[in-house]
Structures are given as C-alpha cells and as structure tokens.
Amino acid sequence: SVRMKPGIRLWGENPHTTFIDGGKGRHGIVAANGCDISGFTITGSGMDYDRLEFFAGIHALDCDSTLVIRGNIFYSHAVFGVLVESSRTGGTPADRIGRYILPERAAHPLDYTGYPNPRIIGNTFNMIGERAVYCIHASPEIANNVFMGNVKTIGMTQLSRPFIHHNVFYRNNVPLNINRSMPVVCYNIML
C-alpha cells in the first residue's frame, strides 16, 4: 500500500509491467492533493467484513482537481477501482453501529466537509467486482476512460455531481448507478 504526500508524481514505467497490489485488507494507493498517478496496473482491493471497511485501488479522500489519475489499468478488484470520498463532518464513526444508516434516514443527506473533485482521465477499468469508480459526496471529472466487463461501472451517492464525458462503456452489467446524485453525462459511448 502506498500512502502519498501532497505534490508527488508517482509514474510507472509501463502499465502492462508495473503493478501495485494493495491486497484485500488495505487501499493500493491513498492519494493526496497535487499528485499525479500514472502508468500502473492497480489490482487487489477488497473488504474487511469484521470492521465493515471497504478498500480501493486508489482512495481519494478530500482531494481536489490537482489530483490526476491517468493512464492506469485497474484490473480485478473485488470492490472499488477508484473511491472518491469526502470526509463526514465531525469524522466518520469508527464503530459499526455509528457507520450504519437506518433505512428511515437513508434519504437524508449526511453532512460532509467538502466536495472532492479529482480528475480520472485515460484509464482502463476491467473486471471490477463492485464499482470501477465510486463517488461519495464528490464531483470528480471522469473522462476518456474505457470501462469493460465491470459489475457496476460508475456509482455515486450522497449528492455527488461527477462530470462523466468521452468514455467508452463496453459489456458492463450496470454502466451508471445513481443514488441521490446529479451527474453530468455527455458524449460517452455505451454498448
């Protein structure tokens, strides 16, 4: 698992030969503002069922548009390829009970600290088990990517507003999974 500091360029020599595998119990890369992540095959995210914690190939928590994720291959993740997330106001509860949202409260928005908006550009997402890109109260730019053979391709919740344009969606089960969100979707090819 790679934890990045702000302003770092993490470039792989060749995405077909340079791999980052975070395993099933942690994120492959924890991103930061001002970073450029490019040229890797990123694989191996999963879930800790005891702690109800999800992991991603790249976790972008509270990152703005200075984070660029480009030219990577996301392959064979159990859960998320890229997770773009905003912190909850007051912090996300550490215990399971505190993280659980009662069904009668599910339509109420949670309070968040901001609207992360990193740029996810020119990547390939293949065979992702849950969501190739998942937005939680976030508004990333998702452009020029190829999504193929994924279960749920782009998911969003908690009033996310991603800008999804010029992507190719090919043979995915669910291209867009929209829950209480307002995406801008234009100029994509969906087969």
Percentages (nearest 5) of helix, strand, coil residues in the chain: 5, 40, 55
| Residue at token pair 């890229």 | 82
Amino acid at residue number 57: G
- Checking if the pLDDT of 190 tops 80, the result is yes
Predicted pLDDT at 108: 77
- Checking if the pLDDT of 90 tops 90, the result is no
Residues in the chain: 191
CB under 8 Å to 3, separation ≥6 — which residues?
A: 29, 30
Which of 56-60, 105-109, 110-114 reaches the highest mean pLDDT?
Answer: 56-60
Sorting pLDDT into bands at 50, 70 and 90, what band is 45?
confident
Helix, strand, or coil here: 96?
helix
Predicted pLDDT at 136: 94
Structural tokens at position 184: 């801008």
